[in-house]
């Protein structure tokens, strides 16, 4: 009976909703048992309240960040957004569009793939949408349509994008006809586009035990205890900040293996240069600083974790990011062998020399671009060979 009344209320709001909404609601993100909605007011004034009416009652936001509100909800539920505001004249503003929506069963998956042809680079945007239908995507004020193929929605266009970051905005149609959009940031080098910072990087992992964090323990000490890597624990436990673990916290202990990745990094010890490849095609070459003598050994590694503005811990001393004494620069890409990393530098005049303890140093502007293009799981091949980088790896 309660659910029937709820459905009739939703239908009533849909039929009699005013055409001039005071607030526009957009679905921004779908998580495990939660959704994030943004609300945009179409008047000058302020929003006093924003909550949801659901089949189980009223739900208030668990987290608010700027104009984005995160709610705990059940997948598949029909929900009614309730927004209350006041304009500068003191008038109550409460009309909302859409007047109701359904919680997605799962978040649409968006994959960005570049295909390098002789005629140019083609960018494929592949969407697995579940309950939704992608209508079009927009990038740099150009609109491209989708077509359906084997249960997936695909949009393809010849790349016209300049080097740097861009935003792909995909418009969806949900059940009952309401629309929303999802933005996906990409990074482009030589017209080849990838998800920003390789956020689509995929990996598998095996968990063999659990650990309850004790007072005074660090992620590094726990990793050493079980002979795994810090990056393994970060990825398996979805840790946003590896420096913040608390006593009593339960960590899964295991090891990560990475799946195939179209991006490859090759470091040549002979020439002190780094080559960036996509699908085996050379895109760009960067100068680097390397380890003294044979401190940077040839071999195959993977990027295991990444940090922006990393702090330096030197014999127990904390050295703040972006300071002259911190030699890590603006980005830090930890390799699967924890002894080595690719990072920036506070001493750009040392690039091109053999001067480090084994890490690969880059100009900050270069490592920032590498960080934007190469994700966790990217293969890093260190070689010592004469000659230039081949135009193709295979």
CATH assignment of 263-383, among 2.40.440.10, 3.40.190.10, 3.90.1150.10, 3.10.129.10: 2.40.440.10
Residues 306-321 have a mean pLDDT of 83
* pLDDT tens, residue by residue, 207-233: 999 999 999 898 889 999 999 988 889
Domain with CATH 3.10.350.10 in the chain: 203-258
* pLDDT tens, residue by residue, 157-184: 999 999 999 999 999 887 666 777 888 9
Higher model confidence: residue 315 or residue 76?
76
User: Is residue 359 among the annotated active site residues?
Assistant: yes
pLDDT above 70 covers what percent of the chain?
92
pLDDT band at 83; cut points 50, 70, 90: very high
Higher model confidence: residue 189 or residue 102?
189
Domain with CATH 2.60.40 in the chain: 2-102, 109-196
pLDDT for position 203: 76
Output the pTM of the full model: 0.78
pLDDT for position 343: 96
Identify the active-site residue in 166, 238, 357, 359.
359
CATH assignment of 203-258, among 3.10.350.10, 3.40.50.300, 2.60.40.10, 3.40.1280.10: 3.10.350.10
Residues 4-32 have a mean pLDDT of 64
pLDDT for position 367: 97
Candidate from 12-26, 49-63, 321-335, 354-368 with smallest mean pLDDT? 12-26
Higher model confidence: residue 12 or residue 191?
191
pLDDT band at 139; cut points 50, 70, 90: very high
Residue 32 has pLDDT above 80, yes or no: no
Candidate from 24-38, 59-73, 361-375 with smallest mean pLDDT? 24-38
Candidate from 18-27, 121-130, 361-370 with smallest mean pLDDT? 18-27
Candidate from 26-30, 132-136, 219-223, 224-228 with smallest mean pLDDT? 26-30
Higher model confidence: residue 204 or residue 247?
247
Residue 19 has pLDDT above 60, yes or no: no
Give CA–CA dist 221/302, Å, rounded: 22
pLDDT for position 372: 97
- Mean pLDDT, the chain, integer: 88
Residues 293-316 have a mean pLDDT of 85
Residue 26 has pLDDT above 80, yes or no: yes
pLDDT for position 201: 58
User: Is residue 95 among the annotated active site residues?
Assistant: no
pLDDT band at 17; cut points 50, 70, 90: very low
Domain with CATH 2.40.440.10 in the chain: 263-383
Residues 307-336 have a mean pLDDT of 86
Residues 300-314 have a mean pLDDT of 88
pLDDT band at 7; cut points 50, 70, 90: low
Residues 136-163 have a mean pLDDT of 95
The CATH number given to 2-102 is 2.60.40
Identify the active-site residue in 23, 95, 166, 343.
343
Fold classification of 109-196 (topology level): Immunoglobulin-like (2.60.40)
Candidate from 98-102, 118-122, 190-194, 316-320 with smallest mean pLDDT? 316-320
């Amino acid at each position: 009976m309660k659910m029937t009344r709820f459905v009739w209320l939703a239908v009533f709001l849909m039929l009699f909703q005013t055409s001039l909404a005071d607030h526009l609601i957009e679905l921004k993100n779908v998580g495990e048992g939660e959704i994030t909605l943004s609300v945009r007011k179409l008047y000058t004034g302020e929003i006093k309240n924003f909550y949801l009416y659901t089949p189980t009652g009223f739900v208030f936001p668990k987290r608010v960040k700027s104009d984005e509100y995160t709610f705990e909800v059940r997948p598949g539920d029909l929900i009614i957004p309730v927004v209350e505001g006041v304009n500068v004249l003191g008038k109550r503003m409460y009309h909302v569009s859409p007047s109701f929506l359904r919680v997605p069963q799962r978040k649409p998956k968006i994959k960005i793939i570049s295909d390098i042809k002789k005629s140019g680079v083609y960018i494929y945007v592949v969407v697995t949408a579940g309950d939704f239908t992608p209508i079009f995507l927009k990038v740099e004020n150009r609109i491209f349509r989708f077509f359906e193929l084997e249960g997936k929605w695909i949009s393809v266009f010849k790349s016209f994008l300049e080097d740097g970051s861009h935003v792909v905005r995909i418009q969806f149609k949900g059940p009952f006809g309401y629309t929303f959009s999802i933005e996906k940031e990409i990074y482009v080098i030589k017209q080849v586009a990838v998800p920003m910072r390789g956020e689509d990087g995929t990996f598998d992992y095996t968990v063999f035990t659990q650990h309850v964090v004790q007072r005074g323990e660090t992620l590094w000490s726990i990793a050493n205890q079980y002979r795994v890597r810090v990056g393994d624990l970060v990825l398996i436990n979805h840790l946003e900040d590896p420096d913040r673990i608390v006593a009593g916290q339960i960590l899964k202990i295991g090891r990560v293996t990475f799946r195939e990745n179209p991006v490859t990094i090759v470091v040549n010890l002979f020439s002190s240069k780094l080559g960036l490849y996509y699908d085996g095609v050379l895109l760009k070459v960067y100068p680097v600083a390397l380890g003294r003598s044979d401190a940077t050994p040839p071999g195959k590694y993977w990027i295991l974790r990444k940090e922006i503005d990393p702090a330096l811990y030197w014999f127990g001393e904390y050295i703040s990011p972006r300071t002259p004494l911190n030699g890590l620069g603006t980005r830090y890409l930890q390799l699967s062998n924890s002894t080595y990393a690719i990072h920036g530098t506070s001493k750009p005049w040392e690039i091109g020399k053999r001067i480090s303890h084994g890490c690969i140093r880059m100009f900050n502007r270069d490592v920032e671009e590498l960080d934007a293009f190469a994700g966790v799981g990217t293969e890093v091949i260190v070689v010592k060979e004469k000659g230039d980088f081949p135009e193709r790896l295979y």
